[in-house]
Amino acid sequence: MTETILVLDAGTTSTRAMLFALDGTVRKSASRPITQHYPRPGWVEHDAAEIWALTLECLREVAADNAEIAAIGITNQRETVVAWDTGTGKPLARAIVWQDRRTAALCEELKAAGHEAEVQAQTGLLLDPYFSATKMRWMLDNEPAVRSAADTGTLAFGTVESWLVFKLSGGIQGGAHITDASNASRTLLLPLAGAGFDNGLCDLFGVPHGTLPQVTDNHGALATSGAEITGRKIPITGLAGDQQAATIGQACLTPGESKSTYGTGAFVLTNMGSEVPRSDHRLLGTVLMQQDGTRTYALEGSMFVAGSLVQWLRDTLGLIDKSAETEALARSVDDSGGVTIVPALAGLGAPHWRSDARGVIAGLSFASGKAEIARAALESMAHQTYDLAAAFAADGASWEILKIDGGMSANDWMAQDIADVLGVPVERPADVETTALGAAMLAAVGAGLFDDLATAADAMRGKVTRFDPDMTAAVREERLARYHKALGAA
């Protein structure tokens, strides 16, 4: 019998189930799109019941014959908050997605009261609507069903992996209420040096400690699926937030190694080893992974808009029919004709952290066509990454090479442009969906199929393509000057 790993990858726009062989190849895969709800400007919601139902559909499609499945790994969109009732097993409100900005006013109140420095010192995070705690507080204040469940002691809060583990492991019949340390570190409620959620932070944000899950390692014997769900009981042995999973899938296992994932948003993580990271340039400290209670940390920079910019060009503006067209369009012109895009459609992430920023398209003329706009959209990925590179370097974490992944990174033109603007080599694996691979590696180690993650990476990661920088300093400087001028208008 050839053992496989079942990975559930609950992303922002879709949920998937994938069967990985131990050489890293995907045996089967199934995917379903997730409905995006935008009830007001700046609000983004998901239906947690739909996420579960669609994940279960995908699971059953790829795991109908489950005899070879040795373990389950789960990776998920981070910071998105689900509230459910432990008595009924049902969501109490729509999930509030990581992109949602509705708690901006609360974050500003907490900043004005002088809390940000202490919160950052403890959690590595800034006071921003991006993170989970203010979303939980908003639900308690504005969703009567959530408040009622809190009052009766049946409320459970969790990020998406917590919700899926609860449902997989039995639901109201004793389902586990856990979260791994990487996801927990994105809530504003977990001190980076603390074992579990902190009572003082819970009090600050008004989140009842008893509603939160138990914080666990990222791999090991974490929970077990119910036989009624997966046909037989299967151990759940790997959990990680999507960006940490991608970092592991890219084999950034040594301090100093860095990756950037270009998906709906874009996220750079640099492995910082066992030292709790501190940033003086508005980057984030986060848990990369935890093993036997011991943590490895990362420094992180987040761009809120990446692939979603191309989706906007396609679905809202109608400039393209397919996202893949952007590469040919970018190559069809010598430059963007002076067109510059600042893709702040959901505010600006690191290192700016401006929730009030809005997108800008600058430099338009009658000569500007869809090719120039498409090229400017791709160029904005390199520009944003450059700003992050400068912040990482200022914090003492310069990049010698950047490993990239995610759906957008399949674009060869964009990969080369990032190398050119950064002035460092860029490396891309043959399979750019490294988030799921990282979850598979964690689960395989957690199930005892590999001794450690380095061994798993050697067996599962596969071949890579390298892009070396090839741009003159003059062109780079002109590009960045235009971008930073447009940034000021955003």
| pLDDT per position as a tens digit, 301-332 | 989 899 989 999 999 999 999 999 999 999 99
| pLDDT per position as a tens digit, 77-112 | 999 999 999 999 999 999 999 989 999 999 999 999
| pLDDT per position as a tens digit, 6-16 | 999 999 989 99
Going by DSSP bridges, is the β-strand pair 258-262/402-405 parallel, antiparallel, or unpaired? parallel
Cα dihedral 265/222/231/444 (nearest 10): 70
pLDDT of residue 273: 95
DSSP 174-224: T---EEEHHHHTTSS-S-TTSSS--HHHHHHHT--GGGSPEEE-SEEEEEE
- The encoded tokens of residue 88 equal 């009924």
- The encoded tokens of residue 158 equal 């969790």
pLDDT of residue 244: 96
The domain ranges of the chain are: 4-243
Cβ of 174: how many Cβ atoms within 10 Å? 9
- For the segment 240-261, the average pLDDT, to the nearest whole number, is 95
The CATH number assigned to the domain with range 4-243 reads 3.30.420.40
Q: pLDDT grade, residue 1 (50/70/90)?
A: very low
Can you say how many angstroms the Cα of residue 301 is from the centroid of all Cα atoms in its chain?
Answer: 11
- Helices 453-460 and 434-446: crossing angle in degrees, nearest 10, is 130
Closest CA to 437 of 239, 250, 235: 250
Pick 339 or 356 by higher pLDDT: 339
135-139 LR contacts (CB < 8 Å, sep 24+): 135/79, 135/81, 135/96, 135/100, 135/103, 136/81, 136/83, 136/205, 136/207, 136/211, 137/103, 137/106, 137/205, 137/206, 137/207, 138/96, 138/102, 138/103, 138/106, 139/81, 139/83, 139/92, 139/93, 139/96
Query: Which percentage of the chain shows pLDDT scores above 70?
Result: 100
| Whether the bond into 425 is cis, omega within 30 of 0 | no
Contact by Cβ (8 Å): 186, 239: no
Give the CA distances from residue 344 to residues 310, 377, 392, in Å, rounded to whole numbers and listed in that order: 13, 12, 21
Cβ of 200: how many Cβ atoms within 10 Å? 10
Distance CA 310, CA 380 (A): 11
Phi, psi angles (nearest 5°) of residue 271: -65, 125
Asked if the model's pLDDT at residue 472 lies above 80, the reply is: yes
| pLDDT per position as a tens digit, 258-297 | 999 998 889 999 999 998 998 888 899 999 999 999 999 9
Tokens 């917590």 identify what position? 162
- The encoded tokens of residue 92 equal 């109490």
E strand or H helix that includes residue 446? helix 434-446
pTM, whole model, 2 decimals?
Answer: 0.89
Sign of CA dihedral 319, 324, 330, 336: positive
DSSP 244-276: HHHHHHTT--STT-EEEEESSSEEEEEEEETSP
Tokens 């990858």 identify what position? 9
**What ranges in 349-423 are assigned the alpha helix state H?**
370-394, 412-422
Cβ of 490: how many Cβ atoms within 10 Å? 18
Rounded to the nearest integer, the mean pLDDT of the chain is 94
3-state SS, 69-118, equals: EEEEEEEECCCCEEEEECCCCCECCCEECCCCCCCHHHHHHHHHCCCHHH
Query: Which percentage of the chain shows pLDDT scores above 90?
Result: 85
